[in-house]
């Protein structure tokens, strides 16, 4: 397989560091629908599902743990690219459709030299098929599915590639619509709502290739995608409302949650990019311009969260009858320009130099609205209080409103030089100089807010990240690689705590952390790649030495989060990928990783107590110590002329994980729930005892069978045959005092897909 992980074409086996590439055929074989499905078959790639359209990506155990909605200044640790354009965004990893992709590349280890700050742990690249000026192509696909105990889903997708003016102009268009099945039931005061987490995804891509001369190519493209989901894949072991003794509702259980109001998530992405390449003879000049406009709207049931605070503040119990509408709105706009020049020759020396500029503005607005809250506030704190704390920001009947504007400007220069010292030994030396400037403007209002008015915080950083690679060919089939590379992630400024919601102890513990520094790491690895006609075996061992790891902490009762720098941590391990064809028609694939990712420093608060699990020897969050996958497909002559039947399956095992570092100490108990009498607590119990904060390991078994005809494929599948309920992440409100939930995966699913090419 040919890949472009080094920003020039190379064989997968010749790339001098650890990389995985999943082709369209690979993804179709296992029924992959999103990046989470891909990760199950890529060693060292971990996805933490935090709800629809909200996931975090980690590679090789480099993880800072959970990021949440109201942390717009936190940067991602893994860069996500669509071809040459970055689509990375902390927390909101785009749930891109996989139709008409050439491949998905996973580049392990820091890729700061060529891909910048967001690639401290690695980079994932979606590589699309480009317009083809030589031939007409078209494809269509349709499918359907039904979930055990849930609803039905399905999709229709299509592609057309049309040469328009000989070998000068071609257009390629892709369109798709997917219906997500629901499988979570919501208990309400009025009964039950089934399958609340269903939804849909629609979108497409249109690109053109204009080649007015053999040495010049210009490719403009427009990408649009809209996701709408009607709820969350959250089951709730604890919700202060869902107590049958006091409210008369049925108890919660597997794949059930309690709602006072419906929830939703929408994500609208518009991206326009323009890529141009000019062959100068001695080198190729490439320009990539990208504009991104993304709008994300989240509606949550904030009743448990807000009213646990309300009762602590002395509000009358009657306010808990009114649902809390918790809204988050993100408006993200970004422009990026990259210009690079790469050698174009077959000599011993290869080189690449470039520059990069980006300008990002991310507006974030949050509000919690409850009918009658202004009157309830005045009743507790005196007439006129609600108006007095509005601060020109909070809406009517709003407990809190926040407005953030984060602006980030960056500039970088980068380059790499490769030299063939001998026919067998090649060295690559690279580096990236970066310069960042960031500002955050904050205003808030409401009884739980701090009354901030246009508070401006700024941070800046610059530095240099080097990279050295050595690759030695033992023979034509076996290659050994070694790498030392530095990665970085920009720091930032924490949001103020919601002090009125904090206990005095939590305000003292967490209130002193304002800015957090850049995170850096050094990655050292040795890899082995071997390929014969029947066997491919790639493996690597690695060690990541991490400094100032940016860890998100749940600030106890404050309903706030802060980012804290842990001075030292590490992630070390071994990964492997094996492909073998022992007999004609049978293909086997195995992958897996073993990772030790731990803190090497202990962080203590002012009283000397360990802060939220940040203790030497504790595990980093979101990352399993062990994961493996295996798949097989057998093909034989079909029932019809020129047809081929196939049958196969896959199994993926993922080990235990923690959502946040502090979950490792949750068994010790947090402060008891207070004033939760309407939820059946008398103020002495801790709901933490109702859930194990260590996420269970899980095993998913899938099977499929079908028929390949000359221009058509028919496939039937059953995913999650064992009907596991994989736990993806722990969801908590107010440190678990108001609600504890677990985000879970899809139950057993029966489906089919039909694909036709023209």
Q: Are 716 and 706 in contact (CB under 8 A)?
A: yes
**Which of 680, 673, 667, 678 shows the shortest CA–CA distance to 738?**
673
Residue 246: the pLDDT is: 46
CA distance readout (Å), 138 to 168, 174, 281: 19, 10, 34
Tokens 């401006």 appear where? 456
Q: In the numeric block, which tokens belong to residue 29?
A: 């074989």
Query: Which of 311, 318, 307, 312 has its CA nearest to residue 368?
Result: 307
pLDDT at site 443: 93
> Are 722 and 117 contacting, i.e. CB atoms less than 8 angstroms apart?
no
DSSP 136-176: -EEEEEEEEEEETTS-EEEEEEEEEEEE-STTSEEEEEEEE
* pTM of the complete model: 0.91
Q: What is the pLDDT of residue 247?
A: 47
Q: Where are the beta strands (DSSP E) in 555-585?
A: 561-580
Characterize the bridge pairing of strands 122-128 and 78-82: parallel
Across the chain, how many H-helices and E-strands are there?
A: 8, 39
pLDDT of residue 671: 41
101-134 exposure pattern, b = at least 16 Cβ within 10 A, e = fewer: bbbbbbbbbbbbbbbbbbbbbbbbbbbbbbbebe
Predicted pLDDT of residue 684 = 41
pLDDT per position as a tens digit, 612-633: 888 999 999 888 999 999 999 9
Please classify residue 478 by burial: count the beta carbons closer than 10 Å to its beta carbon, then call 0-12 exposed, 13-18 middle and 19+ buried.
middle
Determine the pLDDT at residue 70. Answer: 65
In the chain, helix, strand, coil percent, each to 5? 10, 55, 35
Element (H, E) at 25: helix 24-29
Cα R_g (the chain), whole angstroms: 26
Give the span between the Cα atoms of 56 and 48, in whole angstroms. 5
Q: Give the pair of three-digit tokens for residue 42.
A: 């890529």
594: Cβ contacts below 8 Å, ≥ 6 apart: 573, 574, 575, 625, 626
Sign of CA dihedral 379, 381, 384, 386: negative
Residue 631: CATH number of its domain: 2.40.170.20
Whether the CB-CB separation of 490 and 518 falls below 8 Å is answered with yes
Contact predicate 623/66, CB 8 Å: no
What DSSP letter does each residue of 269-309 carry, written as one string? Answer: EEEEEEEEEEE-SSEEEEEEEEEEEEEEEEEEE-HHHHHHH
Whole-number Å distance between alpha carbons of 383 and 274: 58
The tens digit of pLDDT for each residue in 350-368 reads 999 999 999 999 999 999 9
Kindly give, in sequence order, each residue whose CB lies less than 8 Å from that of residue 584, ignoring residues fewer than 6 positions away: none
Residue entry with tokens 């992440």: 729
Give the pLDDT confidence score for residue 675 in this predicted structure: 42
**Site of tokens 């709901």:** 687
Instruction: Give the pLDDT confidence score for residue 513 in this predicted structure.
Output: 64
pLDDT of res. 431:
95
Asked if residue 223 lies in contact with residue 290, where contact means CB atoms within 8 angstroms, the answer is no
**Backbone torsions φ then ψ of 126, nearest 5 degrees:** -85, 120
pLDDT digits (tens, 9 = 90+) for 186-227: 988 888 899 999 999 999 999 999 999 999 999 999 999 999
How do 256-258 and 185-188 pair as beta strands?
parallel
Task: Give Cα 353 distance to the centre of its chain.
Answer: 30
For every residue of 515-545, which 3-state class applies, written as one string?
EECCEEEEEEEEEEEEECCCEEEEEEEEEEE
Let me know: does 249 contact 187? Beta carbons within 8 Å. yes
pLDDT on residue 67: 72
Low-confidence ranges of the chain (pLDDT < 70): 51-53, 68-70, 72, 117, 243-251, 498-501, 503, 505, 508-509, 511-514, 555-560, 606, 666-691
Q: What is the DSSP letter of 500?
A: G
Q: How far is CA 491 from the centre of its chain?
A: 19
Q: Which of 201, 203, 147, 151 is nearest to 179 (CA)?
A: 201
The residue range of the domain holding 86 is 2-757
Closest of 323, 326, 327, 306 to residue 315, by C-alpha: 306
Q: Is 189 exposed, middle or buried (0-12, 13-18, 19+ CB in 10 A)?
A: middle
With beta carbons less than 8 A apart as the criterion, state whether 100 and 83 touch: no
Encoding tokens for residue 459?
């941070």
Count of domains observed in the chain: 1
Question: What is the DSSP secondary structure assignment for residue 37, as one 8-state letter?
Answer: H
Residue found under tokens 């998913």: 700
Euclidean distance between CA atoms 279 and 215, whole angstroms: 5
């Amino acid at each position: 397989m040919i890949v472009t992980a080094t920003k020039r074409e190379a064989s997968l086996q010749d790339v001098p560091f650890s990389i995985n590439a999943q082709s369209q055929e690979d993804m179709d074989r296992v029924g992959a629908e999103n990046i989470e499905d891909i990760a199950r078959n890529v060693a060292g790639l971990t996805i933490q599902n935090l709800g629809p359209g909200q996931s975090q990506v980690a590679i090789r155990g480099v993880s800072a743990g959970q990021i949440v909605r109201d942390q717009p200044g936190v940067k991602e640790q893994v860069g996500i690219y669509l071809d040459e354009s970055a689509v990375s965004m902390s927390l909101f990893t785009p749930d891109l459709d996989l139709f008409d992709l050439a491949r998905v590349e996973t580049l392990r280890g820091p890729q700061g030299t060529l891909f910048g700050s967001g690639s401290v742990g690695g980079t994932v690249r979606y590589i699309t098929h480009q317009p083809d000026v030589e031939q007409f192509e078209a494809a269509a696909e349709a499918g359907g599915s039904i979930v055990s105990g849930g609803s039905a889903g399905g999709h229709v997708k299509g592609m057309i590639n049309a040469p328009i003016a000989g070998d000068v102009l071609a257009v390629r268009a892709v369109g798709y619509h997917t219906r997500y099945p629901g499988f979570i039931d919501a208990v309400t005061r009025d009964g039950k709502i089934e399958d609340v987490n269903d939804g849909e995804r629609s979108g497409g891509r249109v690109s053109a290739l204009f080649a007015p001369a053999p040495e010049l190519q210009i490719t403009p493209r427009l990408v649009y995608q809209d996701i709408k989901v009607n709820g969350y894949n959250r089951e709730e072991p604890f919700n202060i409302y869902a107590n049958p003794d006091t409210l008369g509702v049925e108890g919660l259980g597997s794949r059930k949650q309690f709602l006072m109001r419906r929830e939703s998530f929408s994500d609208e992405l518009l991206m326009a990019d323009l890529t141009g390449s000019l062959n100068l003879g001695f080198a190729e000049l490439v320009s990539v311009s990208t504009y991104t406009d993304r709008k994300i709207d989240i509606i949550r049931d904030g009743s448990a969260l807000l009213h646990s605070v309300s009762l602590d503040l002395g509000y009358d119990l009657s306010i808990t009858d009114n649902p809390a509408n918790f809204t988050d709105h993100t408006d993200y706009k970004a422009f990026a320009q990259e210009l690079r020049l790469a050698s174009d020759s077959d000599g011993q020396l290869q080189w690449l130099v470039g520059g990069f500029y980006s300008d990002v503005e991310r507006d974030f607005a949050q509000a919690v609205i409850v009918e009658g809250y202004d009157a309830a506030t005045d009743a507790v704190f005196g007439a006129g209080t609600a108006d007095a704390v509005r601060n020109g920001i909070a809406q009517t009947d709003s407990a809190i409103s926040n407005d953030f504007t984060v602006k980030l400007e960056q500039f970088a220069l980068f380059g790499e030089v490769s030299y063939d010292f001998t026919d067998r030994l090649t060295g690559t030396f690279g580096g990236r100089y970066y310069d960042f400037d960031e500002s955050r403007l904050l205003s808030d209002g409401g009884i739980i807010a701090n009354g901030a008015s246009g508070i401006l915080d700024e941070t800046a950083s610059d530095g240099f990240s080097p990279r050295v690679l050595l690759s030695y060919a033992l023979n034509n089939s076996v290659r050994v690689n070694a790498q030392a590379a530095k990665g970085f992630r920009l720091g930032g400024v924490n949001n103020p705590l919601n002090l009125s919601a904090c206990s005095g102890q939590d305000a003292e513990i967490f209130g002193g952390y304002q800015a957090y520094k850049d995170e850096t790491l050094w990655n050292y690895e040795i890899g082995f790649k071997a390929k014969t006609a029947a066997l491919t075996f790639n493996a690597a061992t690695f060690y990541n030495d991490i400094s100032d790891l940016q860890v998100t902490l749940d600030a106890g009762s404050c309903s706030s989060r802060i980012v804290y720098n842990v001075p030292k941590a590490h992630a070390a391990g071994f990964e492997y990928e094996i492909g073998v064809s022992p007999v004609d028609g049978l293909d086997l694939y195995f992958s897996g990783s073993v990772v030790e990712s731990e803190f090497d420093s202990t962080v203590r608060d002012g009283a000397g107590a360990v802060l939220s699990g940040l203790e030497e020897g504790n595990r980093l969050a979101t990352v399993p110590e062990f994961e493996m996958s295996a798949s097989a497909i057998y093909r034989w002559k079909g029932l019809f002329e020129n047809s081929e039947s196939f049958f196969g399956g896959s199994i993926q095992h993922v080990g235990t994980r923690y959502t946040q570092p502090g979950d490792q100490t949750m068994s010790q108990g947090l402060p008891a729930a207070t004033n939760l009498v309407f939820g059946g607590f008398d103020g002495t119990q801790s709901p933490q005892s109702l859930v194990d904060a260590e996420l269970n390991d899980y095993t998913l078994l899938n099977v499929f069978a079908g028929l390949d005809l000359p221009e058509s494929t028919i496939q039937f599948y059953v995913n999650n045959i064992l009907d596991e309920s994989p736990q993806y992440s722990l969801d908590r409100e107010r440190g678990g005092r108001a609600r504890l939930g677990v985000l879970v995966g899809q139950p057993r699913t029966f489906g089919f897909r039909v694909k036709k090419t023209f």
